[in-house]
Amino acid sequence: MSEMIPDWRDKPLYTPGPLTTSRTVKQAMLRDLGSRDYAFIRAIREIREKLLEMAGVAGGAFEAVPVQGSGTFAIESVLTSTVPKDGKALIIINGAYGHRMVKICKVAGIAVSAIETPEDQYPVVAEIERALAQDPAITNVAVVHCETTTGIVNPIDVIGACAKKAGKVFFVDAMSSFGAVPIDFEACGIDFLVSSANKCVEGVPGFGFVIARRDALLATEGYARSLSLDLLSQWRGLESNGQFRFTPPTHVLLAFRQALAELEAEGGVKGRAARYAANYQCVVEGMRAMGFVEYLPPERQGYIITSFRYPEHPNFSFDEFYKRLNDKGYVIYPGKVSNADCFRIGNIGRLFESDMRDLLRAIRETLAEMQIVLG
C-alpha cells in the first residue's frame, strides 16, 4: 500500500520547478474533461489568448502554441522545427541549459556552433557579432534568458539586436523568466520564445508553450524533423479545430488556466515580479547575515533563483544539510555550477516573504545542529 499523505499542506519548494502551487490551482485539476469536449476546447482558446496578453503581443503578429511534455520538449520542438534543413544554429551558452540546446541539435542532426562564456559572466557581444559575420551558414540564434544554473539573467535585448542586424531568427528560452520578468518582444527582436506551465505562471508540470512570430512560424514549412514536435503542424491543428493533434494533458491545462487567472489577479507580470523580488531580497539578506556568499555578483543576479557557495567549514556536507532541511519540511535545490560547489534557493512559486523567513530560520537551526559557525 502506498504511503498516505497525512496533511494537505505539502513541503514548500524553494526550487526552479516544479513549484509550490496554490490550493485553487490544485483543485482546478479535479475535473475530467474529454479532449474534444467543447468546454475543454474553449479552455485551450482562453489559455492561448491569455498567454499572448501576458506577453504583451495580443491581437498582433504572434501566436501561442502549447506543446505536450516538459519545457525541454517545447525547446526541442522549436529547435527541430525552425532551423532549415541546410541551416545552422548558433547557441549562446553560459550554463547547463545552453549546453542542453546544443545536445538537442546534435542528436537531431542540426548543424550547430556555440559561443560559451563562464557561468558567472554575460555573453560577449563582440564574439556573437564576429561569429555571425564569419559564418554565413548560421540561420538561427538561441539563448537562455534566465540561466537557472546560476540565476544570471542574460541581456536578450542586446543579443537579439545582434541577431536581427545579421538577419537571423532569434529564439529565447524563457523557461524560468516568462511570467515574472518583463520581456519586450519587439525591442528584443524575438521570433520564438519558450516557457513551461510549472514555472513563474505557477501551474503544474505537463506542457510547455511557444510564443511565435506568425511570419517566422509560417516560414518553417518543411523544416520539422519530428512528427509529434512539429511546431507548425501543432499550430495549424489548433487553428483548424481548437484541438491538440495528440492527447493533451487535460487536467494540467485546466490548472494552468486557473494559474493564469491568479497571475492576472496579482497584478500580472509586474505584480508577480514584485513578490519574487521581495522574496529574493529577504533570502539574500538573511543568507548573507549567516555568512553565506552568493556565486554571482549582485549586478548579474536575477530574482528567480540564487546560487550560494558551500561554506568553507569542515562540518559542512551538502547532503547532510539538505537532508536536515528536508526533514524539517523545506526543499532547496542542489547546485549545477561546473566550476564551484553551490546549492540553489528558488524564490518563485506560491511563496511569500513569510515562507522565506521560515526557510532562513530552518537554515539557522540546521547550521547550529551541524555545529557550523560562519563569518
| 115-117-122-125 Cα dihedral, nearest 10 degrees | -40
Q: What is the model's pLDDT at position 302?
A: 96
**Does residue 318 have a pLDDT over 60?**
yes
**Does residue 8 have a pLDDT over 60?**
no
**Does residue 4 have a pLDDT over 80?**
no
Give 197-256 pLDDT, tens digit per residue: 999 999 999 999 999 999 999 999 999 999 999 999 999 999 999 999 999 999 999 999
Q: What is the model's pLDDT at position 6?
A: 46
**Does residue 9 have a pLDDT over 80?**
no
**Does residue 7 have a pLDDT over 50?**
no
- Mean per-residue pLDDT, 256-262: 98
- Residue 18: asked if its preceding bond is cis (omega within 30°), the reply is yes
Give 124-145 pLDDT, tens digit per residue: 999 999 999 999 999 999 999 9
Residues of the chain with pLDDT > 70: what percent? 98
Q: What is the model's pLDDT at position 2?
A: 45
Question: Which residues does 219 contact at the CB level (< 8 Å), separation at least 6?
Answer: none
Q: What is the model's pLDDT at position 336?
A: 87
Q: What is the model's pLDDT at position 59?
A: 87
d(CA 208, CA 123): 26
**Does residue 1 have a pLDDT over 50?**
no
Q: How many residues does the chain have?
A: 375
- Mean per-residue pLDDT, 27-31: 96
Q: What is the model's pLDDT at position 347?
A: 97
d(CA 248, CA 242): 12
Other CB atoms within a 10 A radius of the CB of residue 155 amount to 15
H-type helices in the chain, by residue range? 23-27, 38-55, 71-82, 96-108, 125-134, 156-165, 185-188, 214-218, 231-241, 250-265, 268-290, 318-328, 353-369
Domains with residue ranges and CATH for the chain: 23-264 (3.40.640.10), 268-369 (3.90.1150.10)
The grid cell for 9 is: 499542506
Q: For the chain, what is the mean pLDDT?
A: 96
Residue 336: what are its φ and ψ, rounded to 5°? -135, 5
